Amino acid sequence: MESARRRLLNWDIPESEIAVLESRGTPKKTMTFYSPVDGFVMEKMVNKGQNVMAGMELYKIADLSTVWILADIYQYELPWVKVGQKADIHLSYMPGKNFQGTVTYIYPMLSMETKTARVRIEVRNTPDLELKPEMFATVEIVSPVIVNAIAVPEQAIIRSGERNIAVISLGGGYFDPREVKLGVTADGYIQILDGIKEGEKIVISSQFLIDSESNLKAAISQMSEHGEEGEIAGSENSSSSAHGKEGNPGQQSKTTVKRKPKDPSHRHRRQSDDGLVRVTTDPVCGMRAEEKENLSYVYKGKKYYFCNESDLETFQKSPVTYAK
């Protein structure tokens, strides 16, 4: 009798059922089994009259009082996500209402298709169970991780596809295009790993109207070689100091770099070691070019000057397209 009792207990038969069986003294064809947890039946894998074997799953029951949210984050964001951080959850079908959760686990592998890492966030559900399985949500993870870094506004960076350029204001209408190495981005600012020092003035708006890498190279060449007093495309240009900040930089300080009035002849001059060097406009790229004989071409009695040999060759192939 004691051996049968222990066997029933090992099968998770409750003490109350065993007591009823002992008092009745006769076997019963049916017996009630109770789930070890409260929740909702998500799957039912057994039917009436079905043979049940040891280890077989009969029901899948979920406790929805606390739910898991699986969020995908980009791999470059991984250094800023830690277990225990707080997260804000937003649902599109409940605008204006936020849920709070905690990062409980960061999965050790990335998705092969999306190259994102998965983060598990535990959230306490509402009494009405507003968070339901298979929902989509937007997650914002608040990172307490901060670093001391130089940061500039994102719009201050010219991205050519091959290089990242920031334009440094040297004062007096002079500018220095400088290649920079970028870090992480947050709240409209981007970290500068190399290329800019704290306190330097940078142009943050109306830098260029550039539609190709070749035009970018020509513009940088003009700025670096000529160093002339003139304008950067736009009616006026805003500049800001690079900030050395902890975490996200504060408000940017702005100054105005005024442009010089244009010469009516559309020709600009600068002082060089050899004297005055005349500067005109390249008819192909539209940029300013020094009047160098080796980069010139006469068409219908008029001499044209070019920034580089590529523009000269382009003009020679079809002068009627560019001649004015």
Q: What gap in Å lies between CA 154 and CA 207, rounded to an integer? A: 13
- 159 and 248 together in one domain: yes
Q: Are residues 43 and 108 in the same domain?
A: no
Whether pLDDT at 212 is above 60 = no
Domain-ending residue, one of 121, 141, 161: 141
Q: Are residues 161 and 241 in the same domain?
A: yes
Q: What is the pTM of this model?
A: 0.48
Mean predicted confidence (pLDDT) in 232-239? 40
d(CA 101, CA 121): 6
Q: How many domains does the chain have?
A: 4
Among 81, 111, 141, the domain-final residue is: 141
Q: Tell me the C-alpha to C-alpha distance, in Å, between residue 283 and each of 31, 71, 218, 303.
A: 94, 53, 13, 11
Tell me, yes or no, whether 155 and 244 share the same domain: yes
Which CATH number is 88's domain given? 2.40.30.170
Indicate if 91 and 165 belong to the same structural domain: no
Same domain, 184 and 247: yes
In-domain check, residue 288: yes
Instruction: Judge if 291 and 253 occupy the same domain.
Output: no
Q: Are residues 200 and 286 in the same domain?
A: no
210 CB burial (10 A radius; 0-12, 13-18, 19+): middle
Residue 215: predicted pLDDT = 58
pLDDT over threshold 60, residue 97: yes
Show which of 257, 278, 309 is a domain's final residue: 257
Residue 80 domain-assigned? yes
Segment among 58-67, 145-154, 260-269 with least mean pLDDT: 260-269
Q: With 0-12 CB in 10 A as exposed, 13-18 as middle and 19+ as buried, what is 209?
A: exposed
Give residue 222's identity as a one-letter amino acid code: Q
Q: Looking at 58-62, 63-67, 178-182, 239-243, which range is the least confident one?
A: 239-243
Is residue 263 in some structural domain?
Answer: no
| Predicted pLDDT at 222 | 61
Does 181 share its domain with 202? yes
Q: Is residue 29 part of a domain?
A: yes
Whether 262 is in a domain gets the answer no
Q: Are residues 115 and 191 in the same domain?
A: no
Domain range for 36 is 2-60
- Inside any domain, residue 75: yes
Give domain status of residue 245, yes or no: yes
Residue bearing the bigger pLDDT, 176 or 217:
176
Tens digit of each residue's pLDDT (9 = 90 or more) over 251-290:
333 333 333 444 433 334 444 444 445 668 888 877 778 8
- The pLDDT value given to residue 275: 47
Q: Please say if the pLDDT value at position 20 is more than 70.
A: yes
Q: What CATH number has the domain bearing residue 182?
A: 2.40.420.20
| Residue 249 included in any domain | yes
Given its phi and psi angles, is residue 185 left (phi above 0), alpha (psi -120 to 50 degrees) or beta? Answer: beta
**47 and 91 share a domain?**
no
